[in-house]
Structure 1
């Protein structure tokens, strides 16, 4: 099982690791800073470097408890020590996007009591989120946009914690995402808490505070059916500052 360093510190941009397996799908390390595609967030890209070699990581996926680095060209051998480094600018943009989605979820839940039924993002700062909501309109989108940016501008801290599955699922105020979306094998459950606005189970990467997100625009609202509404958001091109691991 790969030690997922990003789960506790999303600001780690690189790590020293050992190749423990090579599969048709890619390279498995004993530990990694690469986030594997899942939960609506794309997998990280970057590089693996070792003595005499370099491989470009074009995608990262999960296979059971292992994280697989899909590489272009030659791969390191089992036992090789490598330096794994992510494309930080791309990752940080997705961290901002993911935190923006959680803040959006919190605003919608506070204003309308609606739970999230799905979501997705790309690596350009564009994302969408689906809600159990009866009504949706452009006017509502603009109203939510204003309230969302008001919350982001409060620079609320974002905390990461881990709770036993039974404890997490017994808390009705915690699970804003429908419980059925959380795989049964996930235990403990990782919790992302945006102080005062949103607290939910999540495995993705996030910024340390909402002020890092920057301005968010609701670019489209859609009705996909009864109690199935969608909002699409877009981040500004750059965040207020370029935050890296300290």
Structure 2
């Protein structure tokens, strides 16, 4: 099992770890700060190295209980420890967009009762899909943008904690998101709560306060069916 350092500290940029396995360009460590992707958040990039040995991390993925780091070149199989460095600019952008998506989700749910059906983020943009129960107009989209920016500007803290699975399943805010998709073997559910706005079961990385997100600007919106709608946005 790989210890997932990013779960406890999204701001950790560098770390040292023991090499568990080397297989060509793939490396498994006993612990890592590299996020392996999931929940709409891309995998991290960065570098692993020790002394003169250094390779870029071009992909990260889960494989069972392990996290596999894919390098741009093999490293010597005699290496026993490595130092990891995240591409911090990219990771921090993902953190800002991830938190923005949660605020947007909370606003749409509280104001319109619309459930999120999907989302995706990049380092320079993001999108969200949701099942919208009412009329879809430019005025509605403008209200969504205004309410989301108002919530972001209120400097709300972002808390991360764990709940027993049984308790999480009794929380209506968590049930409306993806807690029911968490495998049954998971006894503790990781929860990300944005005070007064949104509470979700989530395994990704976030900023500590909404003031770090900045201002959201919706760049496009579309109807993808009778109820399914999409907004795309950037952060300023």
* TM-score class, shorter: over 0.9
SS state of the match for residue 34, structure 1? Answer: coil
**1:220 to 1:21, Cα distance in 2 relative to 1, 3 A:** same
**1:78 to 1:172, Cα distance in 2 relative to 1, 3 A:** farther
- The corresponding residue for 1:3 is 3
TM-score by length of 1: 0.90
1:235 is aligned to 2:235: yes
Name which of structure 1's ranges 173-182 and 57-66 shifts more when overlaid on structure 2.
Answer: 173-182
- The equivalences for 1:140-159 within 5 A come to 140-159=140-159
SS state of the match for residue 21, structure 1? Answer: strand
What is the rounded CA distance, in whole Å, between the counterparts of 2:76 and 2:69 in structure 1?
A: 11
- The corresponding residue for 1:241 is none
SS state of the match for residue 61, structure 1? Answer: strand
- The corresponding residue for 1:242 is none
Deviation sequence 1:4-32 (CA, Å, 0-9, x none) = 00001100001110110123572110000
What is the rounded CA distance, in whole Å, between the counterparts of 1:195 and 1:61 in structure 2?
A: 31
What is the rounded CA distance, in whole Å, between the counterparts of 1:196 and 1:121 in structure 2?
A: 23
- The equivalences for 1:206-245 within 5 A come to 206-236=206-236
SS state of the match for residue 172, structure 2? Answer: coil
TM-score by length of 2: 0.94
- Verify the 8 A CA contact 1:175 1:199 in the aligned structure 2: no
What is the rounded CA distance, in whole Å, between the counterparts of 1:115 and 1:76 in structure 2?
A: 49
SS state of the match for residue 41, structure 1? Answer: coil
List runs of 5+ in structure 1 lacking aligned partners: 237-246
- Verify the 8 A CA contact 2:179 2:201 in the aligned structure 1: no
- The corresponding residue for 2:39 is 39
> How far apart are residue 227 of structure 1 and its match?
2.4
- Verify the 8 A CA contact 1:19 1:77 in the aligned structure 2: no
- Verify the 8 A CA contact 1:137 1:221 in the aligned structure 2: no
What is the rounded CA distance, in whole Å, between the counterparts of 2:30 and 2:41 in structure 1?
A: 22
- The corresponding residue for 2:73 is 73
What is the rounded CA distance, in whole Å, between the counterparts of 2:22 and 2:73 in structure 1?
A: 13
**1:71 to 1:22, Cα distance in 2 relative to 1, 3 A:** same
- Verify the 8 A CA contact 1:116 1:178 in the aligned structure 2: no
**1:131 to 1:45, Cα distance in 2 relative to 1, 3 A:** same
What is the rounded CA distance, in whole Å, between the counterparts of 1:26 and 1:213 in structure 2?
A: 34
CA RMSD, 1 decimal: 1.7
